[in-house]
């Protein structure tokens, strides 16, 4: 018998699906990230999370993907749907919001990007990352999804014609009666999208508490920061909180670093400097070189990593990501008629193929994955159907059980999340040692 689904999340990449979904798992709700969009009406979960994998798609394709997914959820009878977007505004923000709105037709689409505990704040409708406008950070140089604008309304307007308005923290403090009058006026002028400021967790909770009292139908869009408060906002029936996960494996851990984010690369450096983890670098440019050179590099990496794993050494596999390595990959890719996006996709695909070959050796006790594109490709190639989310290792860094023939435990994270020693902590956790 199919279990009633309390809530659904629609994310645009895999690590985002995991870090938002784990907020519900932490409250005792059985939560599954399901990679096959046609399978989730038959599985027994309180909360289901789907990944449209649409962050790098054409805007119309992204719209169609989200529209289809939300329509299917509505047909299943799921009324509480949260649209997860990137906390640094990468992706098809406006197109995917329009898709959610067009299916659900609320009075207002409420947009809360802030994630204060992860240094993402919103003030006067602008997104700040660790105190800097997001358009002035390394996100502006992202090879696939650069964000050069910091004003949220401006980013939405690139793909949507719907009117938006900023709701400041002061407006929330002015009280529910004042805000209701203000929103009625906005609605009359055609505003349908509300962008909420929040610089602290207190402000996040306050905006939700206030909006809950107002007589408007709403759909929520945002980061994992606001997702953690959604069960309370929607009065989801919470279960007993799950006990801490206890893991034990005597096999080595494989860490895969596919993200080029500077934060992830600093975490990689820390791991290499402070552990005996065996490093295996995949030379990114080979993914778009001649078939012979690509095959040669793949075999070298697989052989080197397999030898270390058989010797019971933890391994970290990473794509080369220095400025020079990235430029070399672009140059070789351009010479071989690959677009900039196709270069990134080929690197991710090759990393996924290498990881699949390593998983087939049956020498791995657990996975640590960073970079949503890389994690998704690994799952696709290795026939991993999804993740059962369990708890957080750190804020935004979930622990999960893989849905596959060999149900390993895995820890995933977005490139910009986690402390400097997050990889060390992840390996320690998966091995079951005391931290």
Q: What's this model's pTM, rounded to 2 decimal places?
A: 0.91
- pLDDT value at residue 235: 87
CB 46 within 8 A of CB 29: yes
Q: Do the domains 253-431 and 7-234 match in fold?
A: no
Average pLDDT over residues 89-99: 97
Per-domain residue ranges for the chain?
A: 7-234, 253-431
Q: Which residues pair with 316 in a beta bridge?
A: 255, 279
Unique residue bearing structure tokens 């054409």: 58
Q: What Cα–Cα distance (Å) separates residue 82 from each residue in 52, 64, 210, 246?
A: 13, 17, 18, 30
SS3 90: coil
**Poorest-pLDDT segment among 58-62, 197-201, 211-215, 235-239:** 235-239
User: Of the candidates 5, 21, 155, which has an alpha carbon nearest to the alpha carbon of residue 95?
Assistant: 155
Give the CA-trace dihedral at 138, 52, 207, 140, to 10 degrees.
Answer: 10
Average pLDDT over residues 174-191: 98
Q: What is the pLDDT of residues 37-59, one digit of tens each?
A: 666 555 688 999 999 999 989 99
Distance, CA of 378 to CA of 366 (rounded, Å)? 14
Q: What is the pLDDT of residues 358-407, one digit of tens each?
A: 999 999 999 999 988 899 999 999 999 999 999 999 999 999 999 988 88
Q: Which residues pair with 318 in a beta bridge?
A: 257, 281
- pLDDT value at residue 416: 86
Distance, CA of 203 to CA of 316 (rounded, Å)? 39
CB 67 within 8 A of CB 278: no
Residues 6+ apart with CB under 8 A from 21: 9, 11, 31, 32, 33, 47, 49, 227, 387, 389, 398
- pLDDT value at residue 361: 95
Distance, CA of 256 to CA of 359 (rounded, Å)? 12
Q: Which residues pair with 51 in a beta bridge?
A: 11
Residues 6+ apart with CB under 8 A from 334: none
Strands (E), 155-236: 163-167, 191-196, 218-222
Q: Does domain 7-234 have CATH number 3.40.190.10?
A: no
Unique residue bearing structure tokens 């994998």: 53
What CATH architecture is 253-431? 3-Layer(aba) Sandwich (3.40)
Q: What is the pLDDT of residues 99-152, one digit of tens each?
A: 999 999 999 999 999 999 999 999 999 999 999 999 999 999 887 889 999 999
Distance, CA of 430 to CA of 111 (rounded, Å)? 35
């Amino acid at each position: 018998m199919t279990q009633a689904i309390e809530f659904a999340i629609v994310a645009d990449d895999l690590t985002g699906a995991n870090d938002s979904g784990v907020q519900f798992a932490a409250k005792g709700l059985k939560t599954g990230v399901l990679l096959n969009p046609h399978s989730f009406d038959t599985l027994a979960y309180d909360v289901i999370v789907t990944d449209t994998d649409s962050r790098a798609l054409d805007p119309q394709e992204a719209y169609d993907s989200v529209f289809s997914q939300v329509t299917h959820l509505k047909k299943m009878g799921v009324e509480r749907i949260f649209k997860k977007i990137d906390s640094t505004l990468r992706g098809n923000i406006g197109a995917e919001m329009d898709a959610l709105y067009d299916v659900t037709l609320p009075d207002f689409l409420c947009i809360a990007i802030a994630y204060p505990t992860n240094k993402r704040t919103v003030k006067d409708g602008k997104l700040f990352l660790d105190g800097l406008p997001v358009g002035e950070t390394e996100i502006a140089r992202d090879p696939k999804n650069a964000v050069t604008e910091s004003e949220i309304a401006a980013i939405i307007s690139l793909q949507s014609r719907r009117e938006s308005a900023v709701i400041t923290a002061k407006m929330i403090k002015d009280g529910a009666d004042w805000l209701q009058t203000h929103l009625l006026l906005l609605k009359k002028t055609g505003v349908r999208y509300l962008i909420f400021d929040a610089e602290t967790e207190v402000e996040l909770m306050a905006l939700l508490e206030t909006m809950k009292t107002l007589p408007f139908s709403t759909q929520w869009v945002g980061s994992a920061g606001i997702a953690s408060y959604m069960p309370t906002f929607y009065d989801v029936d919470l279960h007993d909180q799950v006990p801490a996960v206890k893991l034990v494996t005597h096999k080595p851990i494989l860490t895969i670093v596919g993200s080029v984010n500077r934060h992830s690369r600093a975490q990689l450096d820390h791991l290499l400097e402070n552990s005996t983890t065996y490093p295996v670098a995949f030379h990114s440019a080979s993914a778009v070189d001649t078939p012979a050179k690509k095959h040669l590099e793949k075999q070298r990496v697989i052989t080197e990593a397999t030898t270390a794993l058989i010797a019971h050494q933890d391994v970290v596999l990473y794509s080369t990501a220095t400025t020079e390595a990235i430029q070399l990959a672009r140059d070789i890719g351009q010479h071989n008629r690959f677009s900039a996006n196709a270069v990134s996709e080929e690197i991710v695909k090759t990393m996924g193929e290498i990881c699949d070959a390593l998983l087939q050796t049956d020498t791995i006790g657990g996975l640590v994955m960073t970079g949503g594109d890389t994690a998704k490709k690994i799952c696709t190639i290795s026939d991993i159907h999804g993740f059962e989310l369990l708890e957080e290792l750190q804020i935004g860094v979930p622990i999960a059980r893989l849905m596959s023939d060999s149900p390993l435990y895995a820890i995933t994270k977005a490139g910009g999340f986690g402390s400097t020693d997050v990889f060390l902590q992840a390996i320690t956790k998966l091995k079951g040692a005391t931290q």
